[in-house]
């Protein structure tokens, strides 16, 4: 098992540390480059830049994406380490050349980090002894031996002392003390759920096939507030207007994976012609069975939300 130590902007770190807790954060880079140093479930360490020279916290690597800045903001909000989209644009611009300022369309290299923990100054962990100031992007460490094992164990000890509420830290700490690092199964937050649904469905509306990202949304079949989970099998990528109708119960997806439009649109609004054209349309679903809509969630939506 490996971990990755990444030089971390102090402004990004301080903002998130002061506004948490966060279920997930976006460790972005202005270059838009991809990231393949870690597998899902391995730890990502925040090594502070400047005179501090310590590890200020860590989280669990979930996924890497290249996203336009506006979508990164829509997906993660303040989890980008900024209070609003304009602040994010300014922060990204500060990390680019003056002749190439950022905009809402700028591509970002996004590394989604789940269950992040930020240590107060008195609890920060000493940077690995072999760390070189010339390292710009970061460095991967084997967590079963040497400095990698040390920083992993010390970070877990700090997390336990802070009573972070993350149940997996106790088991991971016990494993680390015996030299057997434990890969963590990361929990998806709202932003991670959205991107996972997009990827599973090829970034297209499952009803219309629309690929324009600005008008796509990831709908929960059973809302998180009602006990639904952030799982791909509980999600559908829908065009924004269809998402609204789905949440309000005017339309649904039947258990045979066809689209159903109720009579209420016609009765209440004397309209809906463009939607009735989609009646009976087969829903495009992922090839992987575990990513396809869960029948129990569909039944719940049909019985509780849909009133055709």
pLDDT in tens, 251-285: 999 999 999 999 999 999 988 899 999 999 999 99
What's the pLDDT score for residue 136?
84
Residue 175 has pLDDT above 80, yes or no: no
pLDDT in tens, 10-24: 999 999 999 988 999
What's the pLDDT score for residue 188?
79
What's the pLDDT score for residue 148?
95
Residue 239 has pLDDT above 70, yes or no: yes
Residue 64 has pLDDT above 90, yes or no: yes
Mean pLDDT to the nearest integer, 226-253: 96
Task: Give 3-state DSSP helix, strand, coil % of the chain, rounded to 5.
Answer: 35, 25, 40
> What does the domain layout of the chain look like in residue ranges?
2-177, 205-305
Residue 51 has pLDDT above 70, yes or no: no
Of the pLDDT bands very low, low, confident and very high (cuts 50, 70, 90), residue 182 is low
Residue 173 has pLDDT above 80, yes or no: no
Query: The pTM is what?
Result: 0.88
What's the pLDDT score for residue 49?
85
Q: Are 159 and 23 in contact (CB under 8 A)?
A: no
What's the pLDDT score for residue 160?
85
What's the pLDDT score for residue 271?
86
Long-range contacts of 119-126, Cβ-Cβ distance < 8 Å, separation of 24 or more: 119/55, 119/56, 119/57, 119/158, 119/162, 123/158, 123/161, 123/162, 124/48, 124/52, 124/54, 124/55, 124/56, 125/54, 125/55, 125/151, 125/154, 125/155, 125/158, 126/54, 126/55, 126/151, 126/154
Give dist(CA 5, CA 106) in Å, integer.
25
Determine what percent of the chain is predicted with pLDDT higher than 70: 92
Determine what percent of the chain is predicted with pLDDT higher than 90: 76
Give dist(CA 160, CA 117) in Å, integer.
11
Of the pLDDT bands very low, low, confident and very high (cuts 50, 70, 90), residue 143 is very high
Mean pLDDT to the nearest integer, 206-232: 95
CATH number of this structure's domain 2-177, picked from the four choices 3.30.70.2610, 3.90.1150.10, 3.30.1490.190, 2.30.130.30: 2.30.130.30
pLDDT in tens, 102-134: 999 999 999 999 999 999 999 999 999 999 888
């Amino acid at each position: 098992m490996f971990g990755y130590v990444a030089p971390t902007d102090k402004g990004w770190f301080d903002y998130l540390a002061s506004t948490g807790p966060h279920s997930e954060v976006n460790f972005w880079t202005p270059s838009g480059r991809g990231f393949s140093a870690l597998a899902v479930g391995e730890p990502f360490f925040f090594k502070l830049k400047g005179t501090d020279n310590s590890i200020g916290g860590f989280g669990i690597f979930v996924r890497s994406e290249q996203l336009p800045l506006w979508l990164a903001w829509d997906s993660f909000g303040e989890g980008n380490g900024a209070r609003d989209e304009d602040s994010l644009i300014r922060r990204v611009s500060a990390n680019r050349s003056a002749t190439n300022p950022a905009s809402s369309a700028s591509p970002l290299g996004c590394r989604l980090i789940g269950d992040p923990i930020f240590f107060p100054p008195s609890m920060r962990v000493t940077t690995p002894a072999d760390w070189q100031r010339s390292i710009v992007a970061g460095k991967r460490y084997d967590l079963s031996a040497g400095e990698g094992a040390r920083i992993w164990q010390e970070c877990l000890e700090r997390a336990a002392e802070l009573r972070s509420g993350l149940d997996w830290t106790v088991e991971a700490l016990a494993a680390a003390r015996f030299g057997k690092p434990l890969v963590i199964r990361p929990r998806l937050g709202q932003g991670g759920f959205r991107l996972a649904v997009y990827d599973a469905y090829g970034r297209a509306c499952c009803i219309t096939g629309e690929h324009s990202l600005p008008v796509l949304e990831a709908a929960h079949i059973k809302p998180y507030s009602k006990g639904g989970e952030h799982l791909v099998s509980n999600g559908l990528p829908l065009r924004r207007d269809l998402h609204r109708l789905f949440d309000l119960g005017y339309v649904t997806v039947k258990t045979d994976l066809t689209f159903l439009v109720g009579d209420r649109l016609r009765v209440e609004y004397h309209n809906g012609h463009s939607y009735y054209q989609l009646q009976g349309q087969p829903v495009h679903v992922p090839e992987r069975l575990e990513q396809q809509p869960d029948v129990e969630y569909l039944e719940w939506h049909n019985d509780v939300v849909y009133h055709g």
